[in-house]
Amino acid sequence: MTQRSLKVALLQETDRGSREANLDAIEAGLREAAAAGAQLVLLQELHNGPYFCQHESVDEFDRAEPIPGPSTQRIGALAEELRLVVVASLFERRTAGLYHNTAVVFDRSRAIAGKYRKMHIPDDPAFYEKFYFTPGDLGFEPIDTSVGRLGVLVCWDQWYPEGARLMALAGAELLLYPTAIGWDPADTQDEKDRQRDAWITVQRGHAVANGLPLLACNRTGFEAGPEGGRGIDFWGSSFVAGPQGEFLAHASTHRRELLLVDVDLARSENVRRIWPFLRDRRIDAYADLTKRFRD
């Protein structure tokens, strides 16, 4: 089968202290990616500012913006100028009192090619997202672009095999996860290692189970907690996996980094021929998956 190579880039960044500073860093990263020949660039989750969900405060809603809005205008203009497909991640203000954690895709144009609103919303210590985000209502629908059908999901979605599977069943050619995840500084090193390894392993499993390349872009750096909280040490480790879960590229834990790698999209066809998981699914026996729990 003919190789179908796609050069992808993941921009692993820290919070630079303001929306404008973060967007300036993104612009620099996009320009560097384009100069290196990238066709698709994935940004980290909520890249415009700090991970504000460490606490619950109504003042944080001031960070939200409409889509389209100022950030999509700036990133879209760069996507058009640099001829890039860009996957961005924004705090969306839909209307007063209705907000989403939303991924936005640009296809070498300032026009928005598609959106995905985060479906699974966590509510854990230092990750109080249910206070801010309404669960997504756009479903698990891939977004068509000039480089392929993108199965875009967001962070907490990456722990759920159902989301990746539904994207694959809808024809996604890649799975992409903008992410913000890190360690509690109070945890032991063994616990930190287990958490990071679990995060990597579950996503590699999605690549294997669906025979698709997978891109996960995480933020890096320590972000202090508000009101005396311990903060979060974001563990970076952005990576690209192939359709057998093999690492194609892997970023560091504590450094800003532009990760660049060539992905052969045609390999998915070959992998699915030798591992025909979609063929052997017992769809006649899966009705209980729609239940919360089998009592």
Bond into 68 cis (ω within 30) = yes
SS3 state of residue 94 = strand
CA distance between the termini of the chain: 48
Element (DSSP H or E) covering residue 23: helix 19-35
For residue 113, the surrounding DSSP H or E stretch is: strand 112-117
Q: Which residue of the set 92, 155, 223, 257 is catalytic?
A: 155
> How many CB atoms are closer than 10 A to CB 79?
26
DSSP 8-state secondary structure symbol assigned to residue 244? T
CA 43 remoteness from chain centre? 7
Beta-carbon neighbour count of residue 211 at 10 Å?
23
Name the active-site residue from 118, 129, 217, 223: 118
Q: Establish whether 118 is a catalytic residue.
A: yes
- From the list 45, 92, 129, 223, the catalytic residue is 45
Q: Is 45 a catalytic residue?
A: yes
Q: Is 192 a catalytic residue?
A: no
Q: Check the CA dihedral 156-33-85-69 and report its sign.
A: positive
Q: Which residues are catalytic?
A: 45, 118, 155
